[in-house]
Amino acid sequence: MRALLLPLLLLAAPAAAEDTTRIGRVNTALTNLGLTRSHQVVVERFGDPAIPGVSCYVSQARTGGLSGMVGLAEDPARFALSCLATGPITLPENVRRGERGEQIWEASTSLFFKETRVHRFVDEANGALVYLAWSTRLVEGSPHNALAVVPYQTTPAPR
């Protein structure tokens, strides 16, 4: 039985997306008189892998207690998203355009089947990158979601 427990705990740990940096956290509620991890809101930063010069920040609730400490808790499907230009933005030719966008980031928020994902859409008519964060878990019939927009300037073609 113990031989099965360790691999299960390793799989249960929240999978952080590549190149994600934890910026900070706040404890929102003390659990078990401080003997286990408290409930938290965590702020993380990630960059758009295809578009240098864009950084996004996501805040997410993390469940504490014993189940949260060992990675077996289910985190709430609530979060906020903000993205900004942190340098010059140039859109590569291979950046996916169209109404389905492109998934650029995800983080596991439960042991099974629940993630927070971020998709990028390109609004070329208005010179904007649109980032949509959404949960794969439906809450009352629809997923929680958040939106962030980063304007960019198109460079005119050389004459």
Domain residue ranges of the chain, discontinuous segments joined by +: 2-151
Q: How many helices (H) and strands (E) does the chain have?
A: 2, 8
pLDDT at 4: 40
118, burial (CB in 10 Å: exposed 0-12, middle 13-18, buried 19+): buried
Q: Mean pLDDT over all residues of the chain?
A: 78
pLDDT for 85-144, tens place per residue? 999 999 998 998 889 999 999 987 665 667 889 999 999 999 999 999 998 876 667 788
Global pTM? Answer: 0.73
> What are the pLDDT digits (tens) for 44-84?
999 999 999 999 999 988 877 555 555 556 556 788 999 99
